[in-house]
Structure 1
């Protein structure tokens, strides 16, 4: 199977898992609702108009167009890189995870004007910013790319 097709299948799986999970959260939770699952993990419904860690979320609105543009350009570049059929299997997987995550969050921005976040981890009263499956895929993809960069060609 060509690398591009494999990469797009991985990206599509990420998008599907991301969008299904967000759909469930939107149906079950009201904005701001919280369900304690364990002593360190909660399910929440948060709306993020910014980037990671809600960076730029309090801006007057310019960030939406900016993040839509960045995600669109990044997706085009990643598809180009996947088509080139060079690089290791790990780098292709990394790019596919990043593509799926970028498109998952892009879909939210286009449909809602914000990204739906719902995974909330904490230690006592210290809370990590809420995130979602798309964010997780982007993070894993970046970690795998860094890991792959340390391997000899």
Structure 2
């Protein structure tokens, strides 16, 4: 997959596969959110297993509903942060396109960030619907596929850093 730039002897890898992974994350995230909003009323809950429900909730804040009652400014703040981080991730993907695990991590984070930005811009909040819980311990805050991709990307990023440190 690596090609040589005719003006440099340094091999380069394409940015396109990583942007493709991010696009797939965005597509799956948006299709799942559209589906859930068409099938569920707000706050409606359907039990799937003893520890997992599907439910439609809105999060105008950040992770774990942080700043959800902040009055609306947080929508623009978190959108700006996500756009800035996304641009920086694209730069890193281009610069390090040949580092597979690192780029997988970044591509997942990029797709998740953009998926949630789309929600903030289109609806003013992020659509969440995955609800895990344990009896007696309460419910974990609901989340979505974009959040899952970001989480998985962070895990891969940490693994990549640990692997790099151990070399």
- TM-score per shorter chain, which class? over 0.9
Q: Write out aligned runs for 1:8-27 (5 A).
A: 8-27=19-38
Query: Quick one: distance in 2 between partners of 1:112 and 1:26?
Result: 12
- In structure 2, what is the equivalent of residue 128 of structure 1? 140
SS of residue matched to 1:117: strand
Query: Quick one: distance in 1 between partners of 2:50 and 2:134?
Result: 8
Query: Quick one: distance in 2 between partners of 1:137 and 1:10?
Result: 11
Q: Deviations over 1:59-111 (max 9, x none)?
A: 01110110010010011000001111356210000000000000000000000
> Do the aligned residues in 2 keep the contact of 1:3 with 1:82 (CA within 8 Å)?
no
Q: Which runs of 5+ in 1 are unaligned?
A: none
Q: Write out aligned runs for 1:44-83 (5 A).
A: 44-83=55-94
Query: Quick one: distance in 1 between partners of 2:54 and 2:131?
Result: 6
- In structure 2, what is the equivalent of residue 150 of structure 1? 162
Query: Quick one: distance in 1 between partners of 2:116 and 2:140?
Result: 19
- In structure 2, what is the equivalent of residue 39 of structure 1? 50
> How many residues align structurally?
153
Q: Which runs of 5+ in 2 are unaligned?
A: 2-12
Query: Quick one: distance in 2 between partners of 1:86 and 1:8?
Result: 10
2:109 to 98, 102, 105: 98
SS of residue matched to 2:77: helix
Q: Which has the higher contact order (CA 8 A, sep 6+)?
A: 1
Runs of 4+ in 1 over 3 A off after TM superposition: none
Q: Deviations over 1:108-140 (max 9, x none)?
A: 000000000000000014110000000000000
Q: Deviations over 1:44-65 (max 9, x none)?
A: 0000000000000010111011
Deviation at 1:36, TM superposition (A): 0.4
Query: Quick one: distance in 1 between partners of 2:117 and 2:98?
Result: 26
Q: TM-score, normalised by structure 1?
A: 0.96
- In structure 2, what is the equivalent of residue 29 of structure 1? 40
